[in-house]
Chains A and B, each alone.
Chain A
Amino acid sequence: MSSSLVRSAGEQVEVPTPGTADLARPPEGAAMNKKGKSGKAGYLFLTPWIIGCVCLTLGPIIASLYFSFTDYSLLASPHWVGLKNYSDMFHDKRYWASVIVTVKYVFIGVPIKLGIALLIAILLKDGMRHMSVYRAIYYVPSLLGGSVAIAILWRQIFGDPGIFQSFLALFGIESQGWLTSPATSLNTLIVLEAWQFGSPMLIFLAGLRQMPQDLYDSAAVDGAGPLRKFWNVTFPLLTPILFFNLVLQMIGSFQAFTPSFIISSGTGGPVDSTLFYTLYLYIQGFGNLQMGYASAMAWVLLVVVGAITGLLFFTAKYWVFYGDSR
């Protein structure tokens, strides 16, 4: 199903929803632009984008590949060192620490976030009184979550002394500083990530509300319980949206920076327990002026994110249900 039918003010309009839109192909051009002048017009309209793409995206990607083979401090011109940055990275314990932190953050944080998002979306899907209040409360944190102000707030919540500590103390639980202990500091950042489940929740909600009702009805006739109904009917129909959320959230999490920068005062501490990949890249590039090393890190990130996304797309055909249109 490349688009789904939504009723709106008594009129049928086709609206592509995220999981279902065809991401790989552009829409067909209109009848009025068949060749000739319209070809030029296309480029004319695209001029800003082409300049941006060449100068700010493709050019920099290539430049960054070049820098990654050089020793470059910004203060002197880059000079070629071959694969040294990559081999240094391989032997750099802090680099591996940052990889482990990031992998934990992404592969624990994203499933939790999506799980909560799906759960709340299911609870909200039938509508109820004060629906918009719930939706607002659940959604607003995802708009605020990446900001410095929220990171500051998180320092107070999980700090030492912190609110979470005194909350636990109500139940007689003595705890250490949650941010200051390397065993728990990353967890507080994962909680912050999960707190921002609002936008995937909305996407799930949009998907859930477009589920064809007749499928449920027939399932109900078959005597399916709510769990089986969810598993056999809802979930398969939801997989395109789940897939979409998964890709987006993973890419976003790999790039998280602000929370760890603010919460650890830019060090990634304690004991590198909150040293996000991007933070270490920033420390190496702009703190130690090792732009070559930072570029090499960036390229590895690019390749890894690309590979994971590719893998997701590749496996999608085994678990993402595209309805009967495929």
Chain B
Amino acid sequence: MITRRNFLAAAGLASLSAAGLTACSGGSAGGDAKGAANLEVIWWGADDRAAITNSILAMYGKKYPGNTAKGQFLPFGDYFNKLNTLAASNSLPDIIQLNLPNLAAYVKNGLLLDLGDVDLGDYAKASLETGKIDGKLYGINFGYQYLTVMYNTELVTKSGLAVPKDPADWNAWGDFGVELAKKLGNGVYGMSDNSAESNTWASWLTSRGKGLFSTDGKLAHDEGDAVAWYQYWSGLRDRGAIAPGAESQTYVSNGGAAVDPLTTGKSVISMSPIVQFQGYQKVNKVPLGLAPCPTGPSGRGEVNAFFGWGISSKTKNPQAAKDFLNLWFTDPGAFKELGLDRAIPASKKQLDTVSQGATGAIKTMLGFMDSYTISPASQPASPPSIGSKVQDSLTRAAEAVLAKKLSPEQAGAQYFSEIKAAAGE
């Protein structure tokens, strides 16, 4: 299970209709590399992801006899420090998993290969936008990520309330949380505190017609947005919708399904990128339900953020590495292995393969996807100087609010001044 801090997610699905359209210009699959290529692949994640990824690495070895692909994986917390030191010592693996906060920094330092000529089959062009920096494709998104509301179906039934009908705005969900807490009582709260979740934050901004960054790498939100954000969560806490500071601290500090109050039965609603649903369902004993993310003045805040593969510019076997990506994104066998592990597929064929005989959490996800039309916007990458500081600053300010060290207003100001300083604006 990856923690939900892993990527700044949010995205849409409607463009799946656009799927099955264009393939990127055809690079020659099959590989003309002289001699054997031994690829190294690195990603972050847990065991189940490792099992999936390793079996696709094995498929690659079979499809290209003589070539091999060897994987290594790390916990997210260590991943980028490690990747940075590897980059610094010129020993980056050939194929590397990256996310939105780090993509631009890696491109800026000349560490990534242009992937414009990789054959991606029917992969939807819309999702490719997320991996582009200055118009060039440097990373291929695993597919779509977008924010959803997850809820404990049993507790909702027990409360006798109905989940707000889409479109429901942030306040409607907040009110629902307050009602839930009132009806259920006994230390069960309505919502998990997502004030430190950058995915939720990005979605909140988008629903207000703002964003984390603009396409030219400038800040696309201001201090007022941040203040409103912390006020929203504090307000919910004051109204009893979410647990008091001390009880929320673990989740706010660490994130992730395992410590989410939703999982421990202390809250009914939490917000998380849809791809995390499987992980959530795995640790939750009761069936979870899915609803689209809240709306704001500018509609639903769906943005699709980058989370995908890049290829090291120092690779000795660029063609072999591209062949690997071709296999990953077009091979029916790989589709089967992948399921919905990293993203909602951006390829119609892949989605169809996954849909066949789907059960459990995957079935719930597919059912949800069928019942809502969501249009994604590509989230511009974090400028190199900011990297993952959005998540850092967001978390620290949120922790300070919980600990009553800062008021929501001060927290918003602190967050924004840090981001502004990092952006050099």
User: Which B residue's beta carbon lies closest to that of A183?
Assistant: B403
Cβ contact within 8 Å between A269 and B253:
yes
CB of B407 closer than 8 Å to a CB of A = no
Within 8 A of A (CB), among B393-414: 395-396, 399-400, 402-403, 405
- Chain A residues near B84: list those with CB within 8 A: 74, 286-287, 289
CB of B55 closer than 8 Å to a CB of A = no
B81 touches which one: A75, A182, A287 (CB < 8 A)? A287
- Chain B residues near A75: list those with CB within 8 A: 87-88, 109, 111
Additional 18 contacts, C-beta under 8 A, given A176-B246, A182-B405, A267-B77: A74-B85, A75-B109, A160-B250, A177-B249, A180-B249, A180-B250, A180-B253, A182-B403, A183-B403, A265-B254, A266-B78, A267-B395, A269-B396, A271-B399, A271-B403, A286-B81, A289-B84, A289-B88
- Chain A residues near B396: list those with CB within 8 A: 269, 271-272
Cβ contact within 8 Å between A73 and B109:
yes
A270 touches which one: B87, B88, B247, B253 (CB < 8 A)? B253
CB of A76 closer than 8 Å to a CB of B = yes
- 28 residue pairs bridging A and B, Cβ less than 8 Å apart: A74-B85, A74-B87, A74-B88, A75-B109, A75-B111, A159-B250, A160-B250, A176-B249, A177-B246, A177-B250, A180-B246, A180-B249, A181-B246, A182-B405, A265-B77, A265-B254, A266-B78, A266-B81, A267-B253, A269-B399, A270-B249, A270-B253, A270-B402, A282-B81, A286-B84, A287-B80, A288-B387, A289-B88
Within 8 A of A (CB), among B235-274: 246-247, 249-250, 252-254
Cβ contact within 8 Å between A181 and B403:
yes
Mask: chain A, 261-284; 1 = CB below 8 Å from B; 0 = not: 000011101111000000000100
Give the CA-CA distance A265 to B3 in the complex, in Å: 13
Interface size on B, residues (CB 8 A): 26
Least Cβ–Cβ distance between B417 and chain A, in angstroms? 9
Give the CA-CA distance A181 to B387 in the complex, in Å: 27
- Chain A residues near B80: list those with CB within 8 A: 287
Mask: chain B, 108-125; 1 = CB below 8 Å from A; 0 = not: 010100000000000000
Give the CA-CA distance A269 to B254 in the complex, in Å: 9
Give the CA-CA distance A288 to B393 in the complex, in Å: 14
- Chain A residues near B249: list those with CB within 8 A: 160, 176-177, 180-181, 270
Give the CA-CA distance A182 to B399 in the complex, in Å: 8
- Chain A residues near B85: list those with CB within 8 A: 74, 286
Give the CA-CA distance A271 to B180 in the complex, in Å: 30
- Chain A residues near B250: list those with CB within 8 A: 159-160, 177, 180
Give the CA-CA distance A265 to B5 in the complex, in Å: 13
Q: Give B residues with C-beta under 8 Å from A.
A: 77-78, 80-81, 84-85, 87-88, 109, 111, 246-247, 249-250, 252-254, 387, 392, 395-396, 399-400, 402-403, 405
Least Cβ–Cβ distance between A189 and chain B, in angstroms? 15
- Chain A residues near B81: list those with CB within 8 A: 266, 282, 286-287
Mask: chain A, 42-85; 1 = CB below 8 Å from B; 0 = not: 00000000000000000000000000000001111000000000
- Chain B residues near A160: list those with CB within 8 A: 249-250
- Chain B residues near A159: list those with CB within 8 A: 250
Q: Give A residues with C-beta under 8 Å from B.
A: 73-76, 159-160, 176-177, 180-183, 265-267, 269-272, 282, 286-289
Give the CA-CA distance A286 to B84 in the complex, in Å: 7
Closest CB pairs A-B (n = 9)? A74-B88, A176-B246, A180-B249, A270-B399, A271-B399, A75-B109, A180-B250, A182-B403, A270-B253
- Chain A residues near B392: list those with CB within 8 A: 267
User: Which A residue's beta carbon lies closest to that of B3?
Assistant: A265
Least Cβ–Cβ distance between A195 and chain B, in angstroms? 23
User: Which B residue's beta carbon lies closest to that of A266?
Assistant: B77
Give the CA-CA distance A157 to B407 in the complex, in Å: 31
Give the CA-CA distance A258 to B392 in the complex, in Å: 20
- Chain B residues near A176: list those with CB within 8 A: 246-247, 249
Least Cβ–Cβ distance between B146 and chain A, in angstroms? 26
- Chain A residues near B405: list those with CB within 8 A: 182, 271
- Chain A residues near B253: list those with CB within 8 A: 180, 267, 269-270
Cβ contact within 8 Å between A270 and B403:
yes
Least Cβ–Cβ distance between B276 and chain A, in angstroms? 18
Give the CA-CA distance A180 to B396 in the complex, in Å: 13
- Chain B residues near A287: list those with CB within 8 A: 80-81, 84
- Chain B residues near A180: list those with CB within 8 A: 246, 249-250, 253
User: Which A residue's beta carbon lies closest to that of B422?
Assistant: A288
Least Cβ–Cβ distance between B13 and chain A, in angstroms? 32
User: Which A residue's beta carbon lies closest to that of B389?
Assistant: A288
Least Cβ–Cβ distance between A291 and chain B, in angstroms? 9
- Chain B residues near A265: list those with CB within 8 A: 77, 254
User: Which B residue's beta carbon lies closest to that of A175?
Assistant: B246
Least Cβ–Cβ distance between B138 and chain A, in angstroms? 16
Give the CA-CA distance A269 to B250 in the complex, in Å: 10
Least Cβ–Cβ distance between A284 and chain B, in angstroms? 11
Least Cβ–Cβ distance between A322 and chain B, in angstroms? 47
- Chain A residues near B87: list those with CB within 8 A: 74-75
- Chain A residues near B252: list those with CB within 8 A: 270
Give the CA-CA distance A267 to B77 in the complex, in Å: 9
Least Cβ–Cβ distance between B228 and chain A, in angstroms? 21
Give the CA-CA distance A282 to B392 in the complex, in Å: 15
Give the CA-CA distance A290 to B247 in the complex, in Å: 35
- Chain B residues near A270: list those with CB within 8 A: 249, 252-253, 399, 402-403
